[in-house]
Amino acid sequence: MIEAVGLTKRYGDKTAVHNLSFQVRPGAVTGFLGPNGSGKSTTMRMILGLDIPTAGSVTIGGYPYRKLPNAARQVGALLDAKAVHGGRHARNHLLCLAQLSGIPARRVDEVLGVVGLQEVARKRSKGFSLGMGQRLGIAAALLGDPQVLLFDEPVNGLDPEGILWVRNLMKALAAEGRTVFVSSHLMSEMALTADHLIVIGRGQLLSDMSVTDFISANSADFARVRTPDTEPQLREKLTSALTEAGGHVLPEQDGALRVTGLPLPRISDLAHEADVRLWELSPHQASLEEAYMRMTQGAVDYRSTIDQKAGLQQPLPPGAQPPMPVPGQGQPGWYAPPPPQQGGQAFTMPPGQQAPGGAPAGPYGGQGAPAGAYGAPAGAPNPYSAPAAPGAGQPNPYAQPAPQPPQAQPAAGAPAQPAAPAAEPAPSAPVSADPTKPEDAR
């Protein structure tokens, strides 16, 4: 178990981590989330004894990392996949690490198999792609067969099959009773991988709870109601009836209605009383991404000027910081995520109820893992080719072609699209302007 108590780190007058207390328990994947610059990497570095806390402490199995006997056998970490000697062969890189910790050479070949790099084991890592580098970093983390694993954005740069492989690997490691602490900015991935979440903002703890509780606490459940597309007057009639009954009704982009404040049976009764036929009446919970956005929107330090221009961020006086978010409450005056897009969230599998093919295929969930410490069957040919989860990307069976408005209107609060040019650009104009650059720099 990892335990932080009052963990604080200051760099000069910058407080990167402030009074952080949490536990990361074995047997589960714990996601570590927070906006850019919120202190995730700093926290991980302190856990690994690479940074000294200004105040507080963090221990692994009761010991500070630097006092752990044979730490490399107990803790494995991927912090920065690029932190390798690029001139060394992948295998030699791992061999050096193994020798430093008294790990036998055969273990190097085992982990190369686990991460699917056998074919390039004797290639210099400076020629590796981002994803191959991540795999090498994961191999290094697994080398000591540790009980505690930390991964800082492990899926960064991986292709979809690699992402699925990492997901299954994390779950399998946790299922073996290990402590798995993983940071990521990919919410959809975290929703599928993590059991528990620790969320920080500006170095402070915002939330420490299960994924399910986090979504419930930070988003309102809602009902999706759909009337026949061919009779828009029914939609208006139902909207009035639901609003009069105290419901809050928001249009979704596909023509459905998002209703909060009324239970499903009441919505059904009201529709019946108003003589409105329904094509859909379904209960929904917001996605992890929506819940995360809602929770952290006030703790985001780096925002696009495009967001400001689009009115997604309330202007603050110069130098003022937005208030820290309060768990479970919105941030008045701040951008709230729009309703899900058509087919977007309606069929997201809740965490822990993944489609059968998405479940770990075995120890580490990857194919091609050698028999050995993990008892995995040897020899499947291509470890990159983890099977895709059936059901992933399944179309919404209720989705009807949405009626096309004459001019597409952005959803309330949604980022405004750049206006289409009124005329063909002049031949000398750049073909595509970079919207991330100030206009005078394009």
Minimum distance, C-beta of residue 37 to ligand ATP, in the bound complex (Å): 4
Binding part of the chain for ligand ATP, among 39-47, 287-295, 364-372, 420-428 by CB under 6 A, reads 39-47
Binding part of the chain for ligand ATP, among 40-48, 56-64, 187-195, 349-357 by CB under 6 A, reads 40-48
Minimum distance, C-beta of residue 8 to ligand ATP, in the bound complex (Å): 12
Distances (CA, A) of 408 to 97, 230, 385, 402, 418: 56, 19, 40, 12, 12
Minimum distance, C-beta of residue 204 to ligand ATP, in the bound complex (Å): 12
Cβ neighbours around 183 below 10 Å, total: 24
265-294: which residues touch ligand ATP (CB under 6 A)?
none
Q: Which residues pair with 284 in a beta bridge?
A: 222
User: Can you tell me which of 14, 230, 432, 438 binds ligand ATP, judged by CB under 6 A?
Assistant: 14
User: Can you tell me which of 4, 18, 20, 38 binds ligand ATP, judged by CB under 6 A?
Assistant: 38
CB-based contact 128:119 (threshold 8 Å): no
**Residue keyed to tokens 């191999």:** 139
- DSSP letters of 81-107? TT-S-TTSBHHHHHHHHHHHTT--HHH
202-261: which residues touch ligand ATP (CB under 6 A)?
none
Minimum distance, C-beta of residue 297 to ligand ATP, in the bound complex (Å): 16
244 Rama sector, left if φ>0, alpha if ψ -120 to 50, beta otherwise? alpha
415 interacts with ligand ATP by CB under 6 A: no
How are the residues of the chain apportioned to helix, strand and coil, as percentages rounded to the nearest 5?
A: 30, 20, 50
Distances (CA, A) of 338 to 144, 223, 226, 387, 412: 45, 15, 18, 33, 7
User: Can you tell me which of 1, 19, 23, 37 binds ligand ATP, judged by CB under 6 A?
Assistant: 37
User: Can you tell me which of 31, 39, 325, 370 binds ligand ATP, judged by CB under 6 A?
Assistant: 39
User: Can you tell me which of 8, 33, 34, 288 binds ligand ATP, judged by CB under 6 A?
Assistant: 34
Burial 42-67 (b: 16+ CB within 10 A, else e): bbbbbbbbebebeebebbbeeebbee
Minimum distance, C-beta of residue 350 to ligand ATP, in the bound complex (Å): 26
Binding part of the chain for ligand ATP, among 9-17, 222-230, 316-324, 425-433 by CB under 6 A, reads 9-17
Minimum distance, C-beta of residue 200 to ligand ATP, in the bound complex (Å): 7
Residue 171 CA to residue 192 CA, distance in Å, equals 10
Minimum distance, C-beta of residue 45 to ligand ATP, in the bound complex (Å): 8
41 interacts with ligand ATP by CB under 6 A: yes
332-391: which residues touch ligand ATP (CB under 6 A)?
none
Of 34 and 366, which CB lies nearer to ligand ATP in the complex structure? 34
Binding part of the chain for ligand ATP, among 8-16, 263-271, 320-328, 340-348 by CB under 6 A, reads 8-16
> Containing H/E element for 425?
none
Minimum distance, C-beta of residue 39 to ligand ATP, in the bound complex (Å): 4
Minimum distance, C-beta of residue 203 to ligand ATP, in the bound complex (Å): 7
42-101: which residues touch ligand ATP (CB under 6 A)?
42
Cβ neighbours around 102 below 10 Å, total: 10
40 interacts with ligand ATP by CB under 6 A: yes
437 interacts with ligand ATP by CB under 6 A: no
Minimum distance, C-beta of residue 17 to ligand ATP, in the bound complex (Å): 7
Of 134 and 147, which CB lies nearer to ligand ATP in the complex structure? 134
Burial label for 336, CB within 10 Å (0-12, 13-18, 19+), is: middle
CB-based contact 300:331 (threshold 8 Å): no
394 interacts with ligand ATP by CB under 6 A: no
Q: Enter the tokens of residue 56.
A: 């507080």
Q: Enter the tokens of residue 317.
A: 């006086």
Minimum distance, C-beta of residue 11 to ligand ATP, in the bound complex (Å): 3
User: Can you tell me which of 6, 21, 27, 36 binds ligand ATP, judged by CB under 6 A?
Assistant: 36
Residue 30 CA to residue 22 CA, distance in Å, equals 11
> Containing H/E element for 23?
strand 14-24
Helix axis angle, 211-218 to 288-296, nearest 10°? 60
Q: Enter the tokens of residue 131.
A: 């994803």
Query: How many residues interact with ligand ATP (rule CB under 6 A)?
Result: 11
Of 42 and 168, which CB lies nearer to ligand ATP in the complex structure? 42
Residue 296 CA to residue 238 CA, distance in Å, equals 34
Minimum distance, C-beta of residue 105 to ligand ATP, in the bound complex (Å): 34
Contact residues for ligand ATP, defined by CB under 6 A:
11, 14, 16, 34, 36-42
